[in-house]
Homo-oligomer: A and B are copies of this chain.
Amino acid sequence: MRKTLRELAQYLEGELVGDESVEIGGLAPIREACEGEITFLDNEKYYPDLARTGASAAIVGRTTEIPPGKSGIRVEAPYYAWARLMEVWFPPEPRRRIGISERSWIGQDVAFGRDVNVWPGASIGDRARIGDRCDIHPGVVIGPDCRIGADSVLYPNVVIYRGCELGERVILHAGVVIGADGFGYILHDGIHVKVPQVGNVVIEDDVEIGANTTVDRAMIGSTRIGRGTKIDNLVMVAHNCQVGQACIIISQAGLSGSTRLGNYVTLAGQVGVVGHLSIGDGAKVGAQSGVTKDVPAGEVVLGSPAIEIHESKRSLVLLKYLPEMRERVLELEERIKALEARLGGSGG
Chain A contacts to B: CB under 8 angstroms: 27-29, 32, 46, 77, 79-80, 82-83, 86-87, 89-90, 92, 103, 105, 119-121, 123, 137-139, 141, 155-157, 159, 161, 171, 173-175, 177, 180-181, 183, 185-186, 188, 190-196, 198, 208, 210-212, 214, 216, 219-221, 228, 230, 232-234, 236, 238, 240, 246, 248, 250-252, 254, 256, 258, 269-270, 272, 274, 276, 287-288, 290, 304-305, 307, 314-316, 318-323, 325-326, 328-329, 332-333, 335-336, 338-343, 347-348
Contact = CB atoms under 8 A, between A and B. Distances in A.
B250 A252 contact: no
Nearest to A333: B332
A180 B348 contact: no
B191 A174 contact: no
Contacts of A318: 322-323, 326
Given A191-B228, A333-B332, A214 B233 contact: yes
A252 B103 CA distance: 36
A161 B141 contact: no
18 contacts: A29-B221, A32-B221, A83-B195, A86-B198, A120-B123, A137-B141, A157-B157, A171-B181, A173-B181, A180-B233, A191-B228, A252-B254, A252-B272, A288-B290, A318-B323, A328-B333, A329-B329, A339-B339
A251 to B, nearest CB: 4
Contacts of A234: 212, 214, 234, 236, 254
Contacts of A173: 177, 180-181
Contacts of A210: 180-181, 183, 214, 216
A43 to B, nearest CB: 9
A287 B272 contact: yes
Given A82-B195, A256-B269, 12 more contacts: A80-B193, A105-B121, A120-B123, A173-B181, A175-B212, A181-B208, A183-B210, A234-B236, A252-B254, A272-B288, A339-B343, A341-B348
